[in-house]
Structure 1
Amino acid sequence: VGMRGILRLQLACFWTLLIWSDVSFQYPQTTDRCQNTASVFAQLHPTEMRAVRTFLLSQKHLNLSTAKSQTLKKNYIFLIQLQMPKKHHVLSFLRGTGCVPKRNAKVVIFFGAEPAPNVTEFTVGPLPRPTYYHTVPLGENRPIKYASRPITTLEYTLLLEKLVEVTKPATLLLKESNGFWWTNCSDHCLTFTDAAPRGQRSGDRKTWFILQRAVEGFFIHPIGFEILLNHESLNPQDWLVEKVWFHGEYFDSVDQLVWSYNLGKVNISPLPEYQSQGLYSSYTPREHFQSRTEIPGPKLYQPQGQRYTVQGNAVHYSGWSFAFRSQVTTGLQLFNVQFNDEPIAYEISVQEAIAFYSGHSPAGMQTKYIDTAWGMGSMNYELAKGIDCPEIATYRDVHHFVDTDQPIRYKNALCIFEYPTGVPLRRHFDNNFKGSFNFYGGLEGHVLVIRSTSTVYNYDYLWDFIFYQNGVIEVKVHTTGYIHSTFFTPDGVNYGTK
């Protein structure tokens, strides 16, 4: 049996386009005015994030701990980001008929030390020196169940420790079946991928874990061993294995699997021995490219410099103007989009990305990733110049506060650049049908792109917002990275591709 992934993937991305409620509004478009109005949409500065955290920690009745505190039974700040003002307040400000809206932060706190653990959202302000906070009411008065909270770095650490513990009796089985294990494993260690959703009913926190060889591109190196772990309790000592899947068979526990294996009742086909050279999942090229790689490919250049301006979070280009920011959950957002001083959209942004999988293994059957739950917007890491974006692009840093005690800086996480499309914006050859022509007219096609990425574990999204010189906006997503795979079994051929 080869170790190949079998899954079908359906990817859905959801966008928001909020239209201006009063498109007749116009104001003089000076660069200073644009920059000043764009600041109402700007993401929180690190000093604002620190001020919010310091203020909340001073509220003794909240009983807050630090994120690095090594217990799940704690109250701590999970997320801090901008709380957008109400739209009508912002529009009044943009029209010049209202004051600058108060700048507030949205804060998510995990209350794990309470008798009834819960997740609560707060509004904290005004920034930059907060003096108040209040809870954000939820729709239909339904509290967020604590089991529905995202997995934190600490919980992942504890889950790894638990997986190492529960698989220790199966060390010999792991060595003989795939050559990788966990205890004293040196360079033949295992790792894992967790499936979601974490259960079948509201309130469940039961996760299927796929064991994999810890090599480059481990996402496509499953070993055919999956474990269902119940980790609802805030005490890791209470976490339990509820089911085990090994090479197409189900077992009630790891001990039952080992017992059956020792009696020769488990049919396995040992995986090929690991070879570090020529690893199929590596990004190291294994063959020569057909094109001549010693000769550089075409590059962008700007003969007389940039034709767009970026001031703070405000952008101007060929009649276009807009503000931008990056949100922890969803990523890049554009606001106050105008063309030739005419309001086009109040907001253009990604709202969600969902990946539906199927497969023969239990993790494959279960997997339906809703990527905002993984902090899709906070996974926009540094862009590689010349690959992710042209070298001549304008790069901007992003700061996020999520599952941490201090703001985290993501260097060069956004890029902005202009490039030729290679297709005329418009053209016409006017033939006189006498072997010549009356005239030819054409306009070069150029666009402005603002780009970010989201590396949500195994796969990468590249988000492009594209502005054409004729007033057209295009929003595009490119998907790359690694597929989420499961172990190949003969019964799996109906569920995907080898």
Structure 2
Amino acid sequence: MLKQCLVAALLGCAAPAAARPDAGYWKRALSFTNGTKPCGLSDEAPVVKAPKVNPWSSITPDDVRAVHKFIHDPATGLNLTAVANATLTDNYLYFIDTLNTNKSEILPYIDGAAALPPKYARVVIFEGGKEEPVSQEYMVGPLPFSDKTTISKYDYVFNGGKGGEVPYAGRYFDSKRSAAVQPLLKKSMTDVADITVALFDGAYLGSSNNGTNLTAASTTPTSLDGKTSQITYMFRYPGLASYMTPIDLYLILQVTGTDASKYSLKGYVTNERFFATAAELRAAFDAGQLKSEFPQTRDQKWALLDLQPEMGIRDLEDRAAPQSIEIGGKRYKLDKDEEYVEYMGWSFYMAFTRTLGLQFYDIKFKGERVLYELTLQEAAAQYAGFQPKAAGTVYHDTYYSFGTYSATLVEGFDCPFGSTMLNATFPEGDQTEVHPSAICVFESDDGFPLARHRTSGGSSDYGFQNIGAVKGSALHTRTIATVGNYDYLFDYAFHVDGSLEIQVRASGYLQSSPYYKDQGKFGSRISQGTQGSFHDHVLTFKADFDIVDSTNSLEVTDLIVVNQTQPWYAELGTFEQMEYNVTNMETEQQFDWKANGQAMYCVVNNNKTNAWGEKRGYRLVPGRSNIHLSIKDSPFTRKSSTFLKSHLAVTKQHDAEVYANSWQNVQLSEAPQHDFAKFFDGESVDDEDLVVWFNLGMHHFTRAEDVPVTLYTEAVSSIVFAPQNFNDRAQEGDLRNRRWIVPDADTGVLGYDDYGISLPTCDLQLEEPTLKIEPWTHI
């Protein structure tokens, strides 16, 4: 009988600075008492040696420093100013990242005897010193740095016509641009400060003025075509839950160009009215036409994710909640240096970039490749509302360097106790930033058997002949990125049956609006003066399938209804029947899941069959809330967000078609730097190296239960890649974690075979660790 594991109160905490962030690991310090077996919590994952050096790994801290020094050398001709000293009219570095290595270069290495491909750095420079200022991407390599290292424009992956160049108006709105806008923002709000105090008990007098008691928040896009820029500010009460305390005031400024003296006021918005000047706003105020009908509260306690004693305590909630632990010890193997994992037939490499975060490559099951690449491409949101902030808000979170927001996980809550915790590392300036314990790896019980069956009938008087039950489990790799107000949880589950599940959840604060009694069609009222703004979340992923090899097809099995007769049912005449209609998609296209699920989509290898002559493949199985963007022709997403507008897409793989999106595209709706629509040029996807692009997400119908934050239970979307004739039988027969139960024919006593896997016993007592918050580390 399994002894109960006694777990003392244990909280996750921020890790101490890692000495070698390139190794990617930090071990939680635990103190075990009485010398008892710690139920698997203290186990290190067994070590395995990766077959090859990881060709997708990040550039090293030494590489980052060398690249930074190289691009600032006057000999390069870039004429860079140090970021700390730069202004809008200078050339300065925005970021360094790891450049994607072409698949055509990696396959001869990973599958053959070719040399490890050299690595390159991706460098973004804001070139304000040019006659026509732009943002330009470069590639620097080969690395490690040598006399062969050069710099060239990183153009070939962008198809918008200007390569890696983005016009100044469409470039990232960084701190330099924000500082240039600050004087006009300050003046425009100071001019009406008496009005804002009277209406909202608050004023914005500049970011550094002690009298300022409102927070100014802007959004994207600030340009649609890269030719002109305008920025919209909304105002909120400051505090930990500022997102939940907006006031009914908006300011729109025209901010085109690098000469801040030419910036101008477009207008103010309040009470659902537009005022082009401060004088117009004042006239309406003096006439008594403006009011704050539903005053916002400065008290934000109601919106904090903290215990609310006034709600009472549920019965038995004084007991610790159930916990998931790897009770038999870790059953996955790790190569820490190469970020390589093996688990129950699965193997894969991991990588991390500041732009896209966690990535997976060379995913194999039982030694055969299923996927070459599985990567997040974009996390987008588009809002709705009858005011300029909500109506004009579209977020592409790669714009903010998505990976840089993957932060420390709380062990036992974000991930189970005893998880393997990994660091996230990425370049920041001339250093490498370390976010400790930002990724976790753990095995979990699926919560249901992988398979089971009770065989009944026969001569037994006990109602059945046997019961077979197989344990369901999966290896999870998880990270959470908090980008502004939302905490996106990404979970990749490698199941023991050979299926792979990708799941996304969203929590965090709503981007809220002030409540208007006549605008309920844009969201629910969630507090005294706050409305939750309705919006779409759409997250785009790239799945480069290589089912056994790179010659694949997308097979569509339509479930169709036909009228037919059958001679043995002559009395029925003609009746409806279901049958398959199986075809392969011929050319690249975007498409949606069929209504009622009446189509099966499988990536198959036409030239590889299982023992029964069936084409080997993997099925795309829609999970919960598989959506695409609701709006097809918004001016804010017209051409820059094509990838968001269908459930699925399939293209032929090309080294130049690496990304669905450009991280700066959100500012270029009418003239995108990278146009996903151009991928669809009639190329064949039958017996080709193909890529499936898929969207997960949710229509966020806001509700009172989004207070204080949106709950992960409901805000979830998923997809499963499941073997479809990839094997000769279900992948369960070689799993020993099972029971085969047979009753004695005479006595009915149950006998069972545990195949040598008995239930372990353990007794665990843990000391509560000292809680210490460590800052992110730079090396």
TM-score by length of 1: 0.87
Is the counterpart of residue 460 in structure 1 residue 487 in structure 2?
A: yes
Distance 1:221 1:324, change over 3 A: same
Cα deviations by residue, 1:84-140 (Å, 9 ceiling, x for unpaired): 222121110012231110111111111111111112111111212152111122436
Is the counterpart of residue 171 in structure 1 residue 198 in structure 2?
A: no
- The whole-number CA distance in structure 1 between the counterparts of 2:518 and 2:225 is 27
Q: 1:132 maps to what in 2?
A: 150
Q: 1:23 maps to what in 2?
A: none
Which deviates more, 49-58 or 294-303? 294-303
> Is the Cα–Cα contact under 8 Å of residues 194 and 207 in structure 1 kept in the other structure?
yes
> Is the Cα–Cα contact under 8 Å of residues 197 and 366 in structure 1 kept in the other structure?
yes
Cα deviations by residue, 1:282-319 (Å, 9 ceiling, x for unpaired): 22222234253321111222334211122231111111
Q: Residue type of the partner of 1:126?
A: P
> Is the Cα–Cα contact under 8 Å of residues 179 and 273 in structure 1 kept in the other structure?
no
Q: Residue type of the partner of 1:483?
A: L
Which deviates more, 442-451 or 54-63? 54-63
- The whole-number CA distance in structure 2 between the counterparts of 1:210 and 1:490 is 19
- The whole-number CA distance in structure 1 between the counterparts of 2:119 and 2:296 is 58
> Is the Cα–Cα contact under 8 Å of residues 168 and 257 in structure 2 kept in the other structure?
no
**Aligned pairs (5 A) from 1:152-191:** 152-159=174-181, 162-183=184-205, 189-191=213-215
Distance 1:178 1:316, change over 3 A: same
Is the counterpart of residue 441 in structure 1 residue 457 in structure 2?
A: no
Cα deviations by residue, 1:122-177 (Å, 9 ceiling, x for unpaired): 11112121521111224364242122111223434554564333211222222222
Picking from 358, 363, 369, the partner of 1:332 is 358
Is the counterpart of residue 43 in structure 1 residue 58 in structure 2?
A: yes
> Is the Cα–Cα contact under 8 Å of residues 83 and 123 in structure 1 kept in the other structure?
yes
Q: CA deviation at 1:270?
A: 6.5
Q: 1:483 maps to what in 2?
A: 510
- The whole-number CA distance in structure 2 between the counterparts of 1:197 and 1:31 is 47
Is the counterpart of residue 204 in structure 1 residue 263 in structure 2?
A: no
Q: CA deviation at 1:216?
A: 2.2
> Is the Cα–Cα contact under 8 Å of residues 383 and 414 in structure 1 kept in the other structure?
yes
Describe the SS at the equivalent of 1:126. Answer: strand
Picking from 397, 415, 432, the partner of 2:423 is 397
Q: 2:49 maps to what in 1?
A: 32
Q: 1:69 maps to what in 2?
A: 85
- The whole-number CA distance in structure 2 between the counterparts of 1:362 and 1:208 is 7
Is the counterpart of residue 227 in structure 1 residue 244 in structure 2?
A: no
Q: Residue type of the partner of 2:262?
A: D
> Is the Cα–Cα contact under 8 Å of residues 51 and 129 in structure 1 kept in the other structure?
yes
Q: 1:250 maps to what in 2?
A: 274
- The whole-number CA distance in structure 1 between the counterparts of 2:292 and 2:220 is 27
**Aligned pairs (5 A) from 1:88-99:** 88-99=104-115
Picking from 67, 73, 76, the partner of 1:58 is 73
- The whole-number CA distance in structure 1 between the counterparts of 2:315 and 2:225 is 53
- The whole-number CA distance in structure 2 between the counterparts of 1:389 and 1:78 is 33
- The whole-number CA distance in structure 1 between the counterparts of 2:102 and 2:174 is 30
**Aligned pairs (5 A) from 1:96-135:** 96-130=112-146, 131-135=149-153
Picking from 447, 455, 465, the partner of 1:422 is 447
Q: 1:352 maps to what in 2?
A: 378
Q: 1:284 maps to what in 2?
A: 306
Alpha-carbon RMSD: 2.3
Sequence identity, in percent? 24
Describe the SS at the equivalent of 2:194. Answer: helix
- The whole-number CA distance in structure 2 between the counterparts of 1:114 and 1:364 is 35
Q: Residue type of the partner of 1:148?
A: G
TM-score by length of 2: 0.57
- The whole-number CA distance in structure 2 between the counterparts of 1:161 and 1:270 is 31
Cα deviations by residue, 1:375-420 (Å, 9 ceiling, x for unpaired): 2222111112222112211111122235x45332222111111111
> Is the Cα–Cα contact under 8 Å of residues 169 and 255 in structure 1 kept in the other structure?
no
Q: 1:317 maps to what in 2?
A: 343
Cα deviations by residue, 1:57-84 (Å, 9 ceiling, x for unpaired): 1144211122222522221121212222
Computing the radius of gyration over CA atoms, which structure comes out larger, 1 or 2? 2
Which deviates more, 460-469 or 163-172? 163-172
Describe the SS at the equivalent of 1:92. Answer: helix
Q: Residue type of the partner of 2:397?
A: D
Distance 1:221 1:185, change over 3 A: farther
Q: Residue type of the partner of 1:153?
A: S
- The whole-number CA distance in structure 1 between the counterparts of 2:267 and 2:225 is 17
> Is the Cα–Cα contact under 8 Å of residues 93 and 101 in structure 1 kept in the other structure?
yes
- The whole-number CA distance in structure 2 between the counterparts of 1:232 and 1:188 is 26
- The whole-number CA distance in structure 2 between the counterparts of 1:82 and 1:186 is 42
Q: CA deviation at 1:280?
A: 2.3
Q: CA deviation at 1:359?
A: 0.2
> Is the Cα–Cα contact under 8 Å of residues 170 and 224 in structure 2 kept in the other structure?
no
- The whole-number CA distance in structure 1 between the counterparts of 2:431 and 2:181 is 24
- The whole-number CA distance in structure 2 between the counterparts of 1:162 and 1:214 is 21
Describe the SS at the equivalent of 1:150. Answer: coil
- The whole-number CA distance in structure 2 between the counterparts of 1:424 and 1:103 is 44
Distance 1:399 1:237, change over 3 A: farther
Cα deviations by residue, 1:17-43 (Å, 9 ceiling, x for unpaired): xxxxxxxxxxxxx94243x33x21112
Cα deviations by residue, 1:335-375 (Å, 9 ceiling, x for unpaired): 01011111110000111122111101112111122222222
Distance 1:63 1:224, change over 3 A: same
Q: CA deviation at 1:266?
A: 2.6
> Which runs of no fewer than 5 residues in structure 2 stay unpaired?
1-46, 526-779
> Is the Cα–Cα contact under 8 Å of residues 170 and 223 in structure 2 kept in the other structure?
no
- The whole-number CA distance in structure 2 between the counterparts of 1:292 and 1:193 is 43
Distance 1:289 1:75, change over 3 A: farther
Cα deviations by residue, 1:417-454 (Å, 9 ceiling, x for unpaired): 11111111111111237333211111111111111122
> Is the Cα–Cα contact under 8 Å of residues 354 and 402 in structure 2 kept in the other structure?
yes
Q: Residue type of the partner of 1:478?
A: R
Q: Which has the higher contact order (CA 8 A, sep 6+)?
A: 1
Distance 1:308 1:454, change over 3 A: same
Q: Residue type of the partner of 1:98?
A: A
Q: CA deviation at 1:188?
A: 7.4
Q: Residue type of the partner of 2:435?
A: Y
> Is the Cα–Cα contact under 8 Å of residues 203 and 211 in structure 2 kept in the other structure?
no
- The whole-number CA distance in structure 1 between the counterparts of 2:477 and 2:315 is 29
Describe the SS at the equivalent of 2:414. Answer: coil
Is the counterpart of residue 79 in structure 1 residue 95 in structure 2?
A: yes
- The whole-number CA distance in structure 2 between the counterparts of 1:370 and 1:380 is 16
Q: 2:774 maps to what in 1?
A: none
Describe the SS at the equivalent of 1:261. Answer: helix
Distance 1:59 1:429, change over 3 A: farther
Q: Residue type of the partner of 2:442?
A: F
Distance 1:453 1:154, change over 3 A: farther
- The whole-number CA distance in structure 2 between the counterparts of 1:56 and 1:185 is 38
Q: Residue type of the partner of 1:415?
A: C
> Is the Cα–Cα contact under 8 Å of residues 204 and 232 in structure 1 kept in the other structure?
yes
Distance 1:161 1:410, change over 3 A: farther
- The whole-number CA distance in structure 2 between the counterparts of 1:379 and 1:329 is 10
- The whole-number CA distance in structure 1 between the counterparts of 2:407 and 2:211 is 27
Describe the SS at the equivalent of 2:62. Answer: helix
- The whole-number CA distance in structure 2 between the counterparts of 1:323 and 1:427 is 32
> Is the Cα–Cα contact under 8 Å of residues 45 and 399 in structure 1 kept in the other structure?
no
> Is the Cα–Cα contact under 8 Å of residues 68 and 154 in structure 1 kept in the other structure?
no
> Is the Cα–Cα contact under 8 Å of residues 237 and 298 in structure 2 kept in the other structure?
no
